[in-house]
Structure 1
């Protein structure tokens, strides 16, 4: 599968490694331009390339948004995202890292309004980047959970498959609104390494 990654920070960087290792074709961009990523994509191997943001979106069947929330208005034209599966890994922090209250909406619902022709799946936003880097397991037993939420069942199924391929267990938290609320910073499942059993128990205890 062609996976485009917008952002080469902690999440984008580590996700690119994992997806490339799983055999996917990767294109990645950042705000500094493709030349700044030459060494990184060389390290990933022949199935990775550095492109402009627009080229990354055109390349990808699946697009991972791993840029700061405050930079989302700099995304390429919304039409380029038409019929793409967009994984929103962003969290709504300000430039000085203060949490932005979007209630009654969620950050991914705001992304869905910005990219109305895309299929948005909230995922990869609740896991600390070091856990993402080191926590994947080759066997199914006691895998750590990556939560996901969305309104399109087919898009969620594809993202779930990608999560499994990199050594984690997908756990669906529901719709983009309800699941998105559960996955916001500060929630009882945010930034806590959990197995499937532990995660289900924690979710069952929520009001």
Structure 2
């Protein structure tokens, strides 16, 4: 599990053009530079002592800070995080994986087209896919951060006016196809509760639950 978490974080940082994470022992620290989340710690295991140490680091940060914890025992982990003085923002996200070489790739719905960009064409790099309506309006968009054979999906979004047309499935298939062309084989992502049915339908498998916690008062919407 520890290796998978490190691989996810590395690709996620590439997808968002974030600085390289710092190893702080029980976890990783990264500058996120987002509203409500200037800093994020990622736990590498759910050992109670490690979580207490990470919670103490989160509490000492001067900027809004999150702690992300992949776990195979979410109930116990939630209890431990709350006992350490943190509050939970998310309780039901999933770390998921798939073999991109067998990923479904349905064509876009009538009236839509795909635009794919790879930048840079080196390792690490990113692939971004946009699903465009005939008018040129963006219907869906997403990115994968490429590191070695890993491709980490991030910011998968279908715009409200374009939902229920299969665009998310098309988007994920196009991302997988482009990632495989760039040498990727192993898909990794953290799925929101809303996105999990889509990813499961496309063959993504859960590897761990993911909890996200922060200090009291820092409850900026996720």
Specify if TM > 0.5: no
Higher share in helix: 1
Bigger Rg, which one:
2
When the two structures are superposed, what TM-score results if normalisation uses the length of structure 2? Answer: 0.37
When the two structures are superposed, what TM-score results if normalisation uses the length of structure 1? Answer: 0.39
Higher relative contact order (CA 8 A, sep 6+): 2
Higher share in strand: 2
